[in-house]
Every structure is written in C-alpha cells, then in structure tokens.
Structure 1
Amino acid sequence: MNLFSNLSDHTAYHASRRGDMMMASDNVKTLSYAQAWEHINSIAAHIQAEGIGKGDRVAILAKNSVDNLCIFLACARIGAVAVGLNYRLTAPELDFIAGDAEVKLLFMDQEFHCLRGDYLNRIGCVCIDSDESAPILAAWLETPASLNEVEITGDDILFQMYTSGTTGLPKGVLISHGNVLANSYQAPMSTGIGFREGERGLVIAPTFHAVGLVGALLGVIYGASMIIHRDYDPVGMIETLAKEHISTVAVIPVMLQFSLAMVPNIKDYDFSELHTINYGASPISETLLKECIDAFGCDFVQGYGQTEATMALSFLTAADHRKALAGRPELLRSCGRAVFGSEIKIVGKDGVELPLGEIGEIIAKGPQIMQGYWNNPEATQKTVVDGWLHTGDAGRMDEEGYVYIQDRVKDMIISGGENIYPAEIENLLVSHPQIQDASVIGVPDAKWGEIPLAVLVSGGQPELSAEELSEFCRGKLAGYKIPRKVEYIAALPRNPTGKVLKKDIRVMMAEKYPAVS
C-alpha cells in the first residue's frame, strides 16, 4: 500500500484514532472527526447515486461552512473533482467556468441562486441550506444510498481551481492529491511550525481560493480542529482568535490593518494560545508588523505561491521576521526562501539563470507544481517548461537565497528604455503616513513612452500633490522611477486573495490617460 496517497487516508485515520475530537465548527454545525467521516461518506454515496464517477466535476458555489468542507472531502473520497466557484463573479463568468469544467452537479448556498446561468440551470443542484428550486442537503441525504469504494492515487486530480483571469480567460488549474499532500509536508518542514493534534485553526479566507481551501485541508491532514467563519469580519476575527483559543490563522495584511483599526481595545483580549499568524498576497510593513506583534504577541510567517503551485513556493519564517526587526528590515520586502523539496531560480527572457541580484522571472520546481491546465495544453506548455513553473512574477534573489518579488512581469513599465517595477515604488509610497494604499501603473508619454502614475488611497488623510509626492520619493528612488502624476480613488480594487487588480485600475484611468498600457 502506498501510504498517504490520497487525502481521504488522513481523514479516515483521524476518524478511527481521535474520533471524538472536533474536526470543524461553524455557527450552525459542529462535527467530530467520527461524525464528519460519517457525513462525508453519506454525501459521497449520494453523489455517486447522482451518476457522478471518478474524474467527474462537481461545483461548489457557497461560502465557508462545515458542510462546504465536507462536500469537498466527499468528492475527494470518490475521486470526483471539486470545482470551487467564486461567488463574487457574475453569472456569465460562473457559467463560463462551469461550462469549461464540464461540471455535472452543483452544490450551492441559496443566496447564490441568482448566479445560476444557462449552464448551471441545466445540471443537477443541491442546496446546502434552503431553496425552493433545489433539494436541501439534509433532505437529499435522507434517501438510502450505498458507497462504492474507489481507488485513489496521488496522481488523481483532487480539485480544479480557476485562475482569477487577470490576463485573458480564467484557466482551470489541476491540483492532485499528491500535490496537496506534498505541500502540506513542505510547509511545516520549511517553517518549523505546523498543526498539532487538538490545536485550533481559524478558517476565514474563502475556500474557492488556495489559501482558504489548502489551509483548511492542512488542518484535516494533521488532525487539528477548525473554526470556520462564513465571511471575514474584522471584529469577529479578533473575538474568535481570543475566545476560541485559536492557534493559527491565515490572513492578508490588509485584514490585520482593518482589525486593529476596528478594535481599539485589542489589549483587553487574551491571545495566549495564538502562536502563528500566516499572511500572504502582499508584504507587511515594518510599522504594521510591530503593531501586530504588540497586539497579538505571536510569530508571523509569510507565504508566497500561486494556484499553479498548490499554495506555497517559499516562506519568510518567524525567525526571518525576528531578524528583520533586529536590524535587517529589508527582509520584510522578501517572500523568503524556497520550501523544502523545491527549487527557485531567476531567469532572463531566454530562460537562462541570471546572476544573483539581477531581476528576471521567478521560476520554480517541486512536487507541489500543478498537473497542468484543464483542456489547455498550449497554456500548460508555456507555463510549465521542463518541470519548471514560470510564475509570471519578476524578482531577484540574494546570496542567502531570499527572493524579492519586484512585480508581475506583465506589469513592468518601460520608461525611456529603463525597466520600472511598480512594486518597488508602491512599497515606498505606503510608508508615507498620508497614504493608506497605493498602486502604480504605466501611462503613455510622448517623450518617454511611458511614465509611472501613482493611484493612491488617502484613507481620510490630506491628499499629497504630485510635487509633494515627488519630493518624498527623491533620494529614495531613481529619478525615472518617481511617479510624475497622481490620482486618488476611494479604494484599490482587489480580488478575494487581496491582490490588486491592475487591469481594473487601467480601465478606471483609461479615459483620463488614453491608451493606458
């Protein structure tokens, strides 16, 4: 027997050895590992009764919940491929994804009935809570159904997660059981921190994205207990971290910023059992890190990855954060070093590895790299070359192996023949006390081809003029990198994982700056 070849092996093991221990709890349902295993098997049997077999796609259009997680685990149990649908998309966008994935069955929350387009209305549907137009999960499970055992290997696809479509149409990323299990071993090996039996994790990030889903699966794999929040609530997160004795949580830095702002009496809360806050999607400022350490008194770990890499390619560990605060603040601009069992290189346009310190594309190789894009061999061949994932991120590496992301390759600005990476400028801008958030894009210029435009969020502070901003940047940035123009908006558009949607900003600025690149 090939041990740990699939996710269900772990769930079954914990159900048999620590069945009384809580697996997951939300504001509606709490299940022990034994109860969850029974629930998972029942759902799996009923999915099979709908004619769904190994390799068939099952969509989940729902917010975080115990049932949502169990439906995913039920698909894993019988080799069906779960496709989490982003409920923040429009009905036509969801219909495209469902049609592309050839989904055969839909599980959904009733509030998203309005998001069912032509394709989703043609297939079978089970409502997780209540809906007059579809059977309710609890009633659906009352009909007798027998589970047929299915052999699942590490190479079998566990889930199909769609890219955010920041460039072109969304692509279905194929992640196998083996990919998830490998990444779940790489994470604690690389950080020195992992779930222990009985520890409690807080799941806030939506499970239609890798951070939320794989984060929850890590808890299942290691026999932890998960408190599941349906949505992110700044105050609710703080209260749950304290009252539910949470050990670890995964967030994006802006969530920490909001929570600190919304809970002025945060020092009244007891976070003594919170040992780690994991964050990603963007770096954390030294100021915010110090505020968070003062408030929570725990370690911080930053993860860098993408959907095509299951979850993590590198980590900036808790020890790295301590080094940063002890005299090496530049480390906070790094996304850390490659995870255990993986390699990261920086290459030029010709694919040849660049010398240390030079900026190029970040590529990575390891057992967590996707199996490819669904029904898209051309995109797969362009993205994974000789086993190396081409991330599309521009970065550099120092002599210690720390990787510094400069930007997306496609977001690079070319001004007067010089390459400008917006992230470098953005990191400086957000250090100004009158700037809450910042994004930099290239706009056309007759003389230089492109020049940097700073799109800022003031957060109620007095707005800086272009001249004031230029003065702030002078001496800290090369002259050609300093933004020549400034625009203010209420908030930067972001996707659910916190990444700024620069394509949306370009659309917003297109009328004022024609032919924005």
Structure 2
Amino acid sequence: MKLFNNLNDHTKFHAGIRGDMMMASDSKKTLNYAQAWDYTAVIAAHIQSSGIKKGDRVAILAKNSVDNLCVFLACARIGAVVVGLNYRLAPAEVEFIASNADVQMLFFDKEFDSLRGDYLRATTCICMDSDEAAPQLENWLLSPATLTEVEINGDDILFQMYTSGTTGLPKGVLVNHYNVLANAYQAPMTTGKGSRVGERSLVIAPTFHAVGLVGSLLGVIYGGSMIIHSDYDPVGMIETISKENISVVAVIPVMLQFSLAMVPNIKDYDFSELHTINYGASPISESLLKECMAAFGCDFVQGYGQTESTMALTFLTAEDHKKALAGRPDLLRSCGRAVFGTDIKIVGNEGQDLPLGEIGEIVAKGPQIMQGYWKNPEATAKTVVDGWLHTGDAGRMDEEGYIYIQDRLKDMIISGGENIYPAEIENLLMSHDHIQDVAVIGVPDQKWGEIPLAVLVAGGQPELSAEELTEFCRGKLAGYKIPRKVEYIAALPRNPTGKVLKKDIRVMMEEKYPPIA
C-alpha cells in the first residue's frame, strides 16, 4: 500500500493515536477524532444501505457544520463522490447542477428546502437539522446498518465541485484524493506555515467552495482542531479568534475590513495564539495590511488558485509581505510564486511561451491539477493541454518568479485597439482614501468601441467626480486606461469566495450604457 494513499488514511491514523483530541466543533456538536471516525462509519453504513455505491454522487446543500464535514468524510470512506451545492444559487441553478452531476442522494439544511427542485426531491433526501422536510439525520442513523469496507485509491474521485458559470453553464470539476493530498503537502512546503497537530483553525468560508472545503480537509489531514462557523459574522469572527485561541484563519480582505470597522475596541482582544491569516480572491492594500498587522500581530499569506487546481497554485508568503512593507509595496499586487512541485508560465494566443514581463495567459502544471470536467471532454481538452492548466487569467511574471494577475482574459477591455486590463486600474484606484471598493468594466463607446467605467463604493467617504478621478490617475496610467466615467453603488456583488461578479455589474449598468446600434 502507498503511504497515505487517500484521505481516509489520515483520519484513521489520527483516530488511532490521538483519538481524544478534538477534531471539530460548532455551536451544536463537538467531536474528537475517535468519535468522528466512529460517527462517519455509521453515516457511511447508512448511505450504503440507501443503495449508494462507489462512484455514485451524493450532494450536500447545507451550511458549514460538524455534521456537514462528517457526511463528507463518510462519503470518502465508501468512495461516494460529494457534490457541494451552493445555497446562494437560484433553484433552477441548483437543479441544473444536481441533474448534470447525476446526484442520487441529498443531505440538506431545512432552510434550503425551497431550493430542492423536482430532480432532487426524487432522490433520497436526509435533512440535517429537522424532521419536517425529510427524514432527520439523527433519527435516520438510529436504524441498524453495517458498513462494508471499500478499497479507495488515490486516483478515485473525492469530490465534484462546480465552477461559478461566469463564462457559460457551470462545469463539474473532478478532484481526486491525490489532488487534495498533493495540495495539502504543497502548501506548508511553500509557505513555511505547516499545520500542527492540535492547532486550532477557524473555518468560515463555505465548504461548497474550494477554500472552505480543502481548508477543512487540511485540518483533518494534519490532525488539527477546527472551530466551524456556519456564516461570516464580523464581530463573531474576532471574538472566536480571541476566545477559542485560534492559530490560523482563512478570509478575504473585505472580511478583515468589515471586522475592523465593526470592532472599534479590537485592541482589547487577545490574539496571542494567532500566527497566520490566510487570504485570497483579491490583493490586500498596503494600508489595510498595516492596520491588520497592528491589530492582530500575526503573519499574512495570500493564496491564488481556482477550482481546477484543487486550491492553490501560488502563495505570497509571510516573508513576502514583510518585504512589501520594507520597501517593496509592488509585491502586494502579486499573488506570489508557484507552490512546491508546480510549474507556471505565461503563454500567448498561440500557446507560445512569452518573455518575462509580457502579459499573457497564466498556465500551470502540477499534481494538484483536476482530472477534468464531468461529462465535458471538449471543455477538458481546451482547459488542460498536455498537462498544462489554462487558467483563463491574464498575468505576467517578473524575473524573480512572482506572478501578477492582470485580469480574467474575458474581462479585458479593448479600447481603440488597445488592450486594457481592469485589475491594473483597480489596484491604483484602491490606493485612494475615498474609495473603499472598486470594479472596472468596459462599456460601449461610439468612438473607441469600449471605454473603462469605474464602479466605486465610497464607504462613507465623499464621492469623487469623473474629473477628480481623472486627475488622480493622470501620470500613473496611460491616458487610454483612465476611466472617463464613474458610477457609485452601495456594495460590489461578490460570490462566497469574495470574487467580484462583474457579469452582475454589467447587468446593473446596461440601461445607462446600452449597446451601440
């Protein structure tokens, strides 16, 4: 047998030698590793008794909880593939994913009962927290059932996670046990921030996304102890980090911004056990980084990746952040360098390697790259070419290997024949004291075809006119890149991992900036 052939090897190992150590805790339940191993066996046996076999799809439509995690681990033990359903989607979107994935069983929270369409209602459904909508998990587990052990290999699919569908219908990304274990090894090798046995982490990101799910699995793999929150609460996050002696937490920068604003007496909290805050989805401003470092007194690490890469492709390490504050602020615009065991390069439109400094598509090769898209060989062939994952992100690499994301290729603005990458403009505008958040999109223009529009969030600060914004950008950006139009909204629409939903912003602006006839 190969060493650590699958995720189950890790949970079984920890249950055997440190069974009395806490694995996970939420507001309703706390389990140590021995209890969790036994509990997942009971759940797995009952899933099998419902007719689920290795390779069948089991969906979870629920908020973060100990039960949610244990259902996932139970499926892993019998080779059932977990499909995490985003409860923020519309019913039709949930129905599409469930039917596309051939889901045969569903575990759900009662509050999301309305998201169950005809397809899901026809499957075996277990409600995690009530007996009103379907058989309740706790009661369902009371009947006798015997677990049949299943051989699980590293190349068996562990979960099927759907993309956000920003460029079309969502696609099911196939991630196997090896992918997860590889990324779990790559992260500490790269950041120098390896998880330790018994170390307490706070899980906030939803587990239907890679950051929340793989972050939770990292805790299991390394024998950590997880405090699980069902939702992000700005004040609750701060209180838990302090009271529960949290050592590491994963967030997006806007969460840090909200928490600092909501907790003016943050200096009164004890963060002595907190050593690392991991963040992603967007860069952090120099001013916010300084404010957070002063408040929390810990290291910061930024990760970049996508569902197709399990979780991480690059990291901007704690040392990089310190360099940034010691005279290299440009590093804060970078997402770091390739993780251990991963090659990254920048390629042009014809797939040719580009010189350092030139902007092209970021492509990556490593053991964490997905196995393909479920029932979509055409999309798989376009996305993974000769083992190289084509990320769809435009970026450049400097001579030290740092990657700078310019934007999604599809978000590039072409104005008068010039390519404009909105992220470059956004990074500059975020340095303005009167701008709390920003997104730049292209809008139709009779003369230039497209021009950049700055969609701003003031955050209680005075609103800037287009003329004032132009003056601020002059000399810092090429003239054709400077936004000539400005719109203000209360908050940018974001998905659960913090990425700005530019397609939603475009819809919001369509009436004011219609297509040119």
Which residue pairs with 2:95 in the alignment?
95
Measure, in 2, the Cα distance between the counterparts of 1:153 and 1:516.
56
**Alignment gaps of 5+ in structure 2:** none
Which residue pairs with 1:413 in the alignment?
413
Q: Which moved further from structure 2: 382-391 or 438-447?
A: 438-447
Measure, in 1, the Cα distance between the counterparts of 2:396 and 2:67.
43
Matches within 5 A, 1:200-239: 200-239=200-239
Which residue pairs with 2:125 in the alignment?
125
Measure, in 2, the Cα distance between the counterparts of 1:115 and 1:134.
14
Measure, in 2, the Cα distance between the counterparts of 1:365 and 1:496.
27
Q: Which moved further from structure 2: 486-495 or 327-336?
A: 486-495
Deviations 1:487-510 (A, max 9, x none): 111111111100001111111111
User: 1:516: how far off?
Assistant: 8.4
**Alignment gaps of 5+ in structure 1:** none
User: 1:62: how far off?
Assistant: 0.2
Which residue pairs with 2:426 in the alignment?
426
Which residue pairs with 2:437 in the alignment?
437
Q: Which moved further from structure 2: 299-308 or 432-441?
A: 432-441
Measure, in 1, the Cα distance between the counterparts of 2:462 and 2:253.
23
CA contact (8 A) 1:443 1:516 kept: no
Tell me the amino acid that sits aligned with residue 17 of structure 1: I
CA contact (8 A) 1:420 1:481 kept: yes
> What secondary structure is seen at the aligned counterpart in 2 of 1:289?
helix
Which residue pairs with 1:302 in the alignment?
302
CA contact (8 A) 2:445 2:516 kept: no
Deviations 1:43-101 (A, max 9, x none): 00000000000000000000000000000000000000000000001111100000000
Which residue pairs with 2:170 in the alignment?
170
User: 1:462: how far off?
Assistant: 1.5
Q: Which moved further from structure 2: 376-385 or 424-433?
A: 424-433
> What secondary structure is seen at the aligned counterpart in 2 of 1:472?
helix
Deviations 1:379-426 (A, max 9, x none): 000000000000000000000000000000010011111110000001
> What secondary structure is seen at the aligned counterpart in 2 of 1:173?
strand
CA contact (8 A) 2:422 2:440 kept: yes
Measure, in 2, the Cα distance between the counterparts of 1:469 and 1:155.
52
Tell me the amino acid that sits aligned with residue 143 of structure 1: S
Which residue pairs with 1:499 in the alignment?
499
Which residue pairs with 1:186 in the alignment?
186
Matches within 5 A, 1:56-67: 56-67=56-67
Measure, in 1, the Cα distance between the counterparts of 2:113 and 2:234.
27
Tell me the amino acid that sits aligned with residue 440 of structure 1: V
Which residue pairs with 1:387 in the alignment?
387
The reply to whether residue 136 of structure 1 matches residue 136 of structure 2 is yes
Measure, in 2, the Cα distance between the counterparts of 1:358 and 1:500.
25
Which residue pairs with 1:84 in the alignment?
84
The reply to whether residue 146 of structure 1 matches residue 146 of structure 2 is yes
Measure, in 1, the Cα distance between the counterparts of 2:332 and 2:459.
23
Measure, in 2, the Cα distance between the counterparts of 1:305 and 1:324.
21
CA contact (8 A) 1:163 1:172 kept: yes
> What secondary structure is seen at the aligned counterpart in 2 of 1:249?
strand
Matches within 5 A, 1:276-295: 276-295=276-295
Which residue pairs with 1:159 in the alignment?
159
Which residue pairs with 2:69 in the alignment?
69
Measure, in 1, the Cα distance between the counterparts of 2:23 and 2:97.
31
Tell me the amino acid that sits aligned with residue 442 of structure 2: G
User: 1:108: how far off?
Assistant: 0.4
User: 1:131: how far off?
Assistant: 3.3
Measure, in 2, the Cα distance between the counterparts of 1:20 and 1:304.
35
Across the two proteins, how many residue pairs are aligned to each other? 517
Deviations 1:238-281 (A, max 9, x none): 00001000010000000000000000000001101100000000
Measure, in 2, the Cα distance between the counterparts of 1:306 and 1:500.
14
Measure, in 1, the Cα distance between the counterparts of 2:36 and 2:221.
14
CA contact (8 A) 2:441 2:453 kept: yes
Q: Which moved further from structure 2: 14-23 or 482-491?
A: 482-491
User: 1:468: how far off?
Assistant: 0.6
Which residue pairs with 2:15 in the alignment?
15
- The runs of at least 4 consecutive aligned structure 1 residues that moved more than 6 Å come to none
Aligned residues with identical type, % of pairs: 81
Cα pair distance change 1:8/1:191, threshold 3 Å: same
Which residue pairs with 2:457 in the alignment?
457
Which residue pairs with 1:351 in the alignment?
351
User: 1:433: how far off?
Assistant: 1.0
User: 1:133: how far off?
Assistant: 2.7
Q: Which moved further from structure 2: 443-452 or 176-185?
A: 443-452
Measure, in 1, the Cα distance between the counterparts of 2:353 and 2:13.
44
Tell me the amino acid that sits aligned with residue 108 of structure 1: F
> What secondary structure is seen at the aligned counterpart in 2 of 1:363?
strand
Measure, in 2, the Cα distance between the counterparts of 1:370 and 1:310.
7
The reply to whether residue 469 of structure 1 matches residue 469 of structure 2 is yes
Measure, in 2, the Cα distance between the counterparts of 1:131 and 1:311.
35
> What secondary structure is seen at the aligned counterpart in 1 of 2:98?
helix
CA contact (8 A) 2:446 2:516 kept: no
Deviations 1:302-360 (A, max 9, x none): 00000000000000000000000000000000000000000100000010110000000
CA contact (8 A) 2:454 2:486 kept: yes
Measure, in 1, the Cα distance between the counterparts of 2:515 and 2:374.
33
Measure, in 2, the Cα distance between the counterparts of 1:457 and 1:515.
25
RMSD of aligned residue pairs (Cα, Å): 0.9
The reply to whether residue 108 of structure 1 matches residue 108 of structure 2 is yes
The reply to whether residue 267 of structure 1 matches residue 267 of structure 2 is yes
Which residue pairs with 1:36 in the alignment?
36
CA contact (8 A) 1:406 1:422 kept: yes
Measure, in 2, the Cα distance between the counterparts of 1:114 and 1:504.
23
Measure, in 1, the Cα distance between the counterparts of 2:516 and 2:135.
48
Q: Give the TM-score normalised by structure 2.
A: 0.99
Tell me the amino acid that sits aligned with residue 486 of structure 2: V
